[in-house]
């Protein structure tokens, strides 16, 4: 899936901005440096960053930037800009002036590098940046010029799926290696067989003769070097002549030197000292074969490393069942427009985003949330493109299509993160900038030193040592060390529902010392729940709830809605109709129910009506100290009772906090709620630091205070969290959060599962650890083996490295880096289950339960608790009547009711 951003469009239109340009032919970190230098030297390019694994250059452009010149600079540097070629029919042209006008209009379209129009065929041939050329934009440009755009029946030429292109390139690499191996194998057998077995050597001499054998070996090596190995010379030698040598230049020089020396030793031996008349055809052939093997395996590994985006892109179906003209038509998903009604059948993927209009089903949204549990969809519910309809058929109205869908946005964010350059890469960049020239210098120095100390008799040793230096040096490993791990890590994160919106956030997250959470909607459910009813003398709790719910049914207050939901959940019989309803802003509501005057709201409301709830003041004060909010109810001017509400912590909150503390992080709670409420929640889930009563600007100040101990991450979900998310060293937005919150954050969680916060930290650490391992290997490999290749072991141990082994070592170096990075695909954060929490650490809820007398009573109580808290540890003390539930119950009032329904009166026991 190609996604074009607005900034890319602006850039392509000449208004400046950003553009992503695909670049082919890069094989190592030196290539990255050369392409970056070529791009930065191009007029209008303000900055350029090249990603080796993604084969992409991210450009920051000035308004005067010329895309044709930029593409030409990449080509001049010896690499291939990824361009797409398309055809467009143009009607209404009558002369050469029309051709000029159409060409000028097309060249001004977004992403177009060149345009050529044929008057006779009425066709326009457009060449543009792959992924940045939009057919609709081309048609609009033609139309604005006063001509008629016409679709071409054939599929746009050159429009290649990046996934298919990568697979095709891998297949080409495979064929090249197999061809090289086919011809290199007999070279090795013929050249080395006589050294391994005197009998075999005598047999070859008898059958072919030594001279004829050498002619055959030379011919086979020539086929290897200038057949499958030709690319090393066609790319490497020109880069050397331009003064910008790369990895291909090293291979071309190494294999070429061994080949030419062998030709000289074979066909003009009199030009060499007798002691130096050795051939190295097998080295030249196997160098090419081994490096092609490495390139093939590397291409496969790169494809696997970058496959996260491919997996996301494959989630969108190609066809949508769109209702047009009263019937469902199968149309390409690109033709779906906002407002279309689309049918989805069982087992099919949902093509675009929308809202269900008819039918019902269960949908697998695991690619968003990482959770396997299906989600029920009914009319009015949102549906997301890429999710899978499991059972049932339904229809929905499209609300977002194309680049505006959630799936396209996720792909765009993952691509941005994968293209980032981490600070840890800076050292490798500085080294690779001079690496290839330094290796060339080292090879020349090696050759000269051997000749100086050994004379012409050491010519063959000098050649072998110099070739070894050229072949064994591996800038690829240094260039792949960071991007390979970054691409794999961010891809795996996306599969887990963690999106790094900025790639450098991954490294920054590793340095965080404190994680601060917003409370409401982040650590808590964000929906107040009725947890306690206190009925006055002469009143019954169920009746009070029915009366209050009847009045509050017309209210929009969150606590009022909680009363209505509680009455529905507890199946309280509905009260009579409400008359004379009135809303008192900031105080509460009043109304007549069944002839009784009802008032529900704050203490101030009841006091103003002459029904002061002083008799409940002490109870209300105690409940407030436990973090509850209270509403009072008066009936016919008499205080009748109170309702206590709490916003319960999310079921996973305590485990998520414990998991973060296991990672050595300090956890803070920052909220705008009252101190008592904040402390009640904070103590229940086990946070270390609590900041209460903080408005948005106060949250930023709290982050600054926490920042004195080191970098801080902030986790939030609401509009009021946006300033804190932006001010923190790392902002983490919850999946259920607002768009403003997500845009302010560097990391976005695709669901409200708090466990994903710890997953983000653990995965970032694993990725950075992998990068350090890769860099350590890349530097260590070159530091140790280049001296060995120079012949450092020969004077003391008479050990000289064979160039073939050097080529194999070089290929394996890159493969090690890629293989190490690919381990991140299997990354999994061990789930922290309830039982993993020590009793001293896990929060608990204690219930006081009456009327238990035997083991059967204990069993019934446990069964009641476990029906609501599966997996919890339930301890029953028959003597005291205490029932301890670990971890803490999500809704203690509901659990207490379940125990009471089992025949044992129960209430939550407050400690302290």
C-alpha 492, offset from chain centre: 6
DSSP conformation class of 671: -
Closest to 363 in 3D by CA, of 380, 344, 343: 344
Catalytic: 518? yes
User: Which residues are within 8 A (CB) of 213 and not within 5 positions of it... i.e. 6 or more apart?
Assistant: 190, 204, 205
Q: What H or E segment, with its residue span, contains residue 700?
A: helix 696-706
C-alpha 550, offset from chain centre: 48
Strand partners, 669: 517, 690
* Sign of the alpha-carbon dihedral angle for 694, 698, 700, 704: negative
893 close to 910: Cβ distance less than 8 angstroms: no
885 close to 849: Cβ distance less than 8 angstroms: no
Strand partners, 598: 591, 635
Give the tokens for residue 67.
């895309």
**3-state SS of 135-159?**
HHHHHHHHHHCCCEEECCCCCCCCC
Output the DSSP codes for 61-75.
E-TT--HHHHHHHHH
CA distances from 671 to 190, 199, 677, 699, 878 (A): 78, 86, 10, 7, 40
Closest to 673 in 3D by CA, of 715, 642, 627: 627
Please count the other Cβ atoms lying within 10 Å of the Cβ belonging to residue 661: 17
* Sign of the alpha-carbon dihedral angle for 682, 683, 687, 688: positive
Please count the other Cβ atoms lying within 10 Å of the Cβ belonging to residue 139: 18
Q: What H or E segment, with its residue span, contains residue 288?
A: helix 281-305
Tokens 């540097």 appear where? 77
Q: CA Rg, the chain, in Å?
A: 36
Q: 451: exposed, middle or buried (C-beta count within 10 Å: 0-12, 13-18, 19+)?
A: middle
Strands in 361-364's sheet, in edge-to-edge order, are: 375-377, 361-364, 388-391
Closest to 422 in 3D by CA, of 7, 22, 783, 769: 769
Please count the other Cβ atoms lying within 10 Å of the Cβ belonging to residue 145: 19
Strand partners, 689: 668
Task: Choose, from 518, 717, 729, 753, the residue flagged as catalytic.
Answer: 518
User: Which residues are within 8 A (CB) of 485 and not within 5 positions of it... i.e. 6 or more apart?
Assistant: 767, 770, 771, 774, 820, 821, 824
DSSP conformation class of 799: -
Helix axes 406-418, 475-495, angle to 10 degrees: 150
Give the tokens for residue 228.
């499958």
Tell me whether strands 666-670 and 514-518 are parallel, antiparallel or unpaired: parallel
Kindly report the backbone phi and psi dihedral angles of residue 688, in degrees, each rounded to the nearest multiple of 5, phi listed first.
Answer: -95, -35
DSSP conformation class of 349: B
120 close to 99: Cβ distance less than 8 angstroms: no
Give the tokens for residue 681.
């929640």
Closest to 595 in 3D by CA, of 572, 573, 577, 574: 577
Output the DSSP codes for 213-272.
HHHHHHHHHHHHHHTTTHHHHHHHHHHHHTT---HHHHHHHHHHHHHHHHHHHHH-GGGS
255 close to 472: Cβ distance less than 8 angstroms: no
Which residues belong to the active site?
518
């Amino acid at each position: 899936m190609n996604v074009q951003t607005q900034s890319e469009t602006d850039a392509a239109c000449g208004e400046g901005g950003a553009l992503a340009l695909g670049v082919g032919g890069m094989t190592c970190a030196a290539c990255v440096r050369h392409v970056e230098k070529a791009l930065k030297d191009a007029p209008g390019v303000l900055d350029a960053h090249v990603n080796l694994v993604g084969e992409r250059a991210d450009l920051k452009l000035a308004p005067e930037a010329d895309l044709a010149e930029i593409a030409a600079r990449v080509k001049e540097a010896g690499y291939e800009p990824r361009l797409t070629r398309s055809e467009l029919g143009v009607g209404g042209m009558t002369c050469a002036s029309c051709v000029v006008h159409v060409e000028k209009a097309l060249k001004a379209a977004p992403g177009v590098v060149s345009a050529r129009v044929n008057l006779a065929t009425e066709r326009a041939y457009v060449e543009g940046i792959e992924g940045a050329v939009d057919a609709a934009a081309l048609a609009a440009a033609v139309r604005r010029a006063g001509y008629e755009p016409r679709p071409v029946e054939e599929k746009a030429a050159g429009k290649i799926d990046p996934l298919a292109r990568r697979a095709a390139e891998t297949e080409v690499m495979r064929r090249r290696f197999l061809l090289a191996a086919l011809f290199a194998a007999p070279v090795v057998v013929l050249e080395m067989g006589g050294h391994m077995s005197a009998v075999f050597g005598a047999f070859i001499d008898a059958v072919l003769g030594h001279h004829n054998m050498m002619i055959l070996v030379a011919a086979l090596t020539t086929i290897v070097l200038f057949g499958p190995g030709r690319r090393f010379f066609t790319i490497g030698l020109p880069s050397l002549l331009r003064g910008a040598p790369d990895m291909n230049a090293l291979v071309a020089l190494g294999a070429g030197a061994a080949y030419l020396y062998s030709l000289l030793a074979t066909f003009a031996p009199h030009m060499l000292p007798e002691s130096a008349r050795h051939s190295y055809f097998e080295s030249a052939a196997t160098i090419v074969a081994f490096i092609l093997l490495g390139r093939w395996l590397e291409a496969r590994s790169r494809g696997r490393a970058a496959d996260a985006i491919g997996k996301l892109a494959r989630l969108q179906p190609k066809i949508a069942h769109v209702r047009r003209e009263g019937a469902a038509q199968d149309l390409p998903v690109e033709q779906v427009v906002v407002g279309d009604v689309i049918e989805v059948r069982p087992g099919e993927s949902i093509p675009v985003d929308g809202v269900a209009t008819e039918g019902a089903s269960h949908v697998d949204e695991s690619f968003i949330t990482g959770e396997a549990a299906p989600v029920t969809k009914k009319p009015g519910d949102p549906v997301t493109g890429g999710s899978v309809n499991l059972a049932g058929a339904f229809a929905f109205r499209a609300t977002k299509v194309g680049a505006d869908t959630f799936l396209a946005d996720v792909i765009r964010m993952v691509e941005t993160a994968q293209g980032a350059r981490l600070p840890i890469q800076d050292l490798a960049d500085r080294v690779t900038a001079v690496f290839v020239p330094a290796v060339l210098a080292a090879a020349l120095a090696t050759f000269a030193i051997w000749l100086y100390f050994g004379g012409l008799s050491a010519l063959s040793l000098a050649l072998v040592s110099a070739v070894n230096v050229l072949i064994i040096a591996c800038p690829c490993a240094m260039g792949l060390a960071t991007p390979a791990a970054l691409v794999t890590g961010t891809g795996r994160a996306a599969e887990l529902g963690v999106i790094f919106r900025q790639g450098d956030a991954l490294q920054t997250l590793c340095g965080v010392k404190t994680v601060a959470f917003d409370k409401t909607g982040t650590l808590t459910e964000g929906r107040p729940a009725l947890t306690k009813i206190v009925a006055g003398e002469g009143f019954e709790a169920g009746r009070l709830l029915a009366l209050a719910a009847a009045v509050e049914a017309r209210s929009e207050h969150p606590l009022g809605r909680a009363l209505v939901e509680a009455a529905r959940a507890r199946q309280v019989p509905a009260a009579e109709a409400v008359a004379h309803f009135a809303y008192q802003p900031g105080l509460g509501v009043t109304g007549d129910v069944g002839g009784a005057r009802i008032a529900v709201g704050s203490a101030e409301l009841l006091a103003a009506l002459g029904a002061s709830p002083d008799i409940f003041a002490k109870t209300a004060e105690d409940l407030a100290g436990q973090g509850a909010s209270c509403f009072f109810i008066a009936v016919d001017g008499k205080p009748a009772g109170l309702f206590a509400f709490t916003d319960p912590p999310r079921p996973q909150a305590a485990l998520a906090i414990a998991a973060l503390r296991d990672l050595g992080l300090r956890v803070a709670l920052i909220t705008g709620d009252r101190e008592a409420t904040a402390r009640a929640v904070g103590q229940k889930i086990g946070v270390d630091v609590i900041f209460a009563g903080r408005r948005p600007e106060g949250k930023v100040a709290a982050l600054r205070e926490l920042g004195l101990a080191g970098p801080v991450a902030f986790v939030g979900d609401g509009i009021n969290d946006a300033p804190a998310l932006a001010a923190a060293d790392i902002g983490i937005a919850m999946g259920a959060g607002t768009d403003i919150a997500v845009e302010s954050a560097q990391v976005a969680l695709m669901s409200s599962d708090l466990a994903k916060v710890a997953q983000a930290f653990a995965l970032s650490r694993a990725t950075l650890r992998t990068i350090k391992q890769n860099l350590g290997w890349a530097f260590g490999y070159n530091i140790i083996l280049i001296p060995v290749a120079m012949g450092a072991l020969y004077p003391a141990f008479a050990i000289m490295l064979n160039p073939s082994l050097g080529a194999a070592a070089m290929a394996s170096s890159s493969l090690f880096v890629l293989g190490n990075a690919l381990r991140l695909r299997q990354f999994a954060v061990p789930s922290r289950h309830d039982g993993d929490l020590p009793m001293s650490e896990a929060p608990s809820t204690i219930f006081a339960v009456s009327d238990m007398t035997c083991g059967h009573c204990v069993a019934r109580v446990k069964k009641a608790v476990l029906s609501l808290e599966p997996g919890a540890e339930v301890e029953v003390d028959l003597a005291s009547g205490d029932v301890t539930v670990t971890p803490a119950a999500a809704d203690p009032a509901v659990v207490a009711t379940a125990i009471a329904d089992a025949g044992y009166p129960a209430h939550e026991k407050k400690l302290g």
